[in-house]
C-alpha cells in the first residue's frame, strides 16, 4: 500500500479552496514559528510534519481536522511506518503546534494513540586511546573542531555556531548560546587548545578584515539583534569562530555574508578519520560528546556537574552514561576470571 504521507500533493484531487486553505495554513505556521524564535531545524521539522499530516488528510480542509485525525496519523506512523518513539513524539509536537498556535483548537488529550516502541540504546563511546587515534588522523581547523567537541562536550551545531564573543580566554570558558531547547550554558575551555584557538582566531580576523575591505564581512544575526543593532553584523564579536570558505549574497538585505562551516563537511572528515584509525564502532561527531561525559565520570566527577556541562534538563538523561561504565570490564568481574 502506498504511503499517503510521502506522495506529492495532487492539485488535481484537491478542490481549489482546499489548496488555498492549505497554503494559507502553512504560511501561518511559518509565521508562528518565526514569532516564537524556534530554531531553523525545529522549524523545518515542524513544517515537514504538518505537510505530511495534511497529505494524510487526503483533500480535507485543515479547518475540518481534529483530534481523531491526529490520532489516526500518529497511530499510522507507529504501526505502518514503524517510526521510533522520538520521531513520533516530534510529529506529535508539530501537530500540537499547528492546532494550538494556528488552528486555535485544543487537542491535548489524544485518546487511543498507538505509541511507537521506545528502544533503549546505549551511547557509542570511544576509549581515550581511540579518541586520540581519531584526532591524530585529523589536521588543521577540522581537528580543532573535533577537539572542541570532545574537550567541551558540545553538540555538532553548538560548535559550528560559536561566535567569537562566546570564547572567554580569561575565564577559560565557552558560552554556548541557544543550545538544544534554546538554552544557554557554560562549559570549560581546555588549556590544551587555547593557543591553537587563539592562532585560529587571528587567521579568521585577518580574513574578516579583508572581507570588509572588499565590501563583505557581514554575518547572520538573531532577528532581534539585527533590528536593534543594524551594523552589528560586521562587528568582530559576532563573527563565526569557524566561518565557511565562501561568501554568499543575502537577497533581502543585499549583504555579502559568510555562513558558518557546514556540518556535513566535518561529519565526513570525522567518519573518514574513524575508518583510518581502524575503529569499527558506529561512531560519529556526537560520539565525542558521549565520550566526554563518560570519561568525566571515569575520573570521578559529580554527575550533576556533568549534567550542567552537557546542558541536560534532567539528570536522568545524564545517567545513561553510568550504564556505560557498568558494562563489561568497567563494572563487574567476569566469572571466567575467577577460575584462574
Beta strands in 4-96 (DSSP E): none
Residue of 46, 150, 261, 321 marked catalytic: 321
Instruction: Tell me how far apart the alpha carbons of residues 165 and 175 are, in angstroms, rounded to a whole number.
Output: 9
Given 52, 92, 260, 312, the catalytic residue: 312
Options 30, 60, 165, 180, the catalytic residue: 180
Cα torsion 198, 204, 210, 212 to 10°: value is -110
**Residue pair 261/242 in contact by the 8 Å Cβ criterion:** yes
> Of 143, 155, 163, 290, which residue is the catalytic one?
155
Q: Is 289 an active-site residue? A: yes
Provide long-range contacts, Cβ within 8 A and 24+ apart, for 92-99: 93/46, 94/45, 94/46, 94/49, 94/50, 94/53, 95/49, 95/50, 95/53, 95/70, 97/29, 97/32, 97/33, 97/46, 98/25, 98/29, 98/46, 98/50, 98/53, 99/70
Residue 312: active-site member:
yes
155 counts as catalytic: yes
* Residue 286 is among the residues annotated as catalytic for this protein: yes
Task: Out of 22, 161, 289, 295, pick the active-site residue.
Answer: 289
- Selecting among 100, 262, 271, 286, the annotated active-site residue is 286
Enumerate the active-site residues: 155, 180, 286, 289, 312, 321
Amino acid at each position: 500500500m502506498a504511503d499517503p504521507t510521502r506522495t506529492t500533493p495532487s492539485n488535481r484531487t484537491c478542490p481549489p479552496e482546499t489548496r488555498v486553505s492549505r497554503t494559507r495554513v502553512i504560511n501561518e505556521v511559518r509565521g508562528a514559528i518565526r514569532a516564537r524564535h524556534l530554531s531553523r531545524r525545529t522549524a523545518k521539522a515542524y513544517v515537514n510534519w504538518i505537510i505530511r499530516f495534511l497529505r494524510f488528510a487526503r483533500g480535507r480542509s485543515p479547518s475540518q481536522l481534529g483530534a481523531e485525525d491526529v490520532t489516526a496519523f500518529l497511530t499510522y506512523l507507529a504501526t505502518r511506518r514503524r517510526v521510533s518513539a522520538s520521531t513520533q513524539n516530534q510529529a506529535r509536537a508539530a501537530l500540537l503546534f499547528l492546532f494550538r498556535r494556528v488552528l486555535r483548537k485544543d487537542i491535548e488529550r489524544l485518546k487511543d494513540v498507538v505509541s511507537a516502541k521506545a528502544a533503549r540504546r546505549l551511547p557509542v563511546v570511544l576509549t581515550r586511546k581511540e579518541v586520540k587515534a581519531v584526532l591524530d588522523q585529523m589536521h588543521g581547523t577540522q581537528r580543532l573542531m573535533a577537539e572542541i567537541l570532545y574537550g567541551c562536550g558540545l553538540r555538532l551545531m553548538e560548535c559550528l555556531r560559536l561566535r567569537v564573543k562566546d570564547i572567554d580566554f580569561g575565564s577559560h570558558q565557552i558560552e554556548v548560546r541557544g543550545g538544544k531547547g534554546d538554552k544557554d550554558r557554560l562549559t570549560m575551555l581546555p588549556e590544551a587548545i587555547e593557543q591553537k584557538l587563539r592562532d585560529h582566531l587571528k587567521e579568521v580576523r585577518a580574513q574578516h578584515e579583508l572581507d570588509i575591505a572588499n565590501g563583505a564581512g557581514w554575518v547572520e544575526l538573531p532577528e532581534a539583534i539585527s533590528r536593534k543593532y543594524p551594523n552589528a553584523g560586521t562587528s568582530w564579536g559576532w563573527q563565526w569562530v569557524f566561518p565557511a570558505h565562501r561568501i554568499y549574497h543575502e537577497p533581502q538585505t543585499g549583504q555579502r555574508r559568510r555562513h558558518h562551516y557546514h556540518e556535513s563537511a566535518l561529519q565526513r572528515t570525522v567518519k573518514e578519520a574513524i575508518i583510518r584509525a581502524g575503529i569499527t564502532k558506529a561512531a560519529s561527531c556526537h560520539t565525542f560528546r558521549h565520550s566526554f561525559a563518560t570519561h568525566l565520570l571515569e575520573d570521578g566527577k559529580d554527575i550533576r556537574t556533568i549534567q550542567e556541562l552537557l546542558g541536560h534538563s534532567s539528570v536522568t538523561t545524564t545517567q545513561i552514561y553510568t550504564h556505560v561504565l557498568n558494562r563489561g570490564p568497567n563494572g563487574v568481574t567476569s566469572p571466567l576470571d575467577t577460575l584462574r
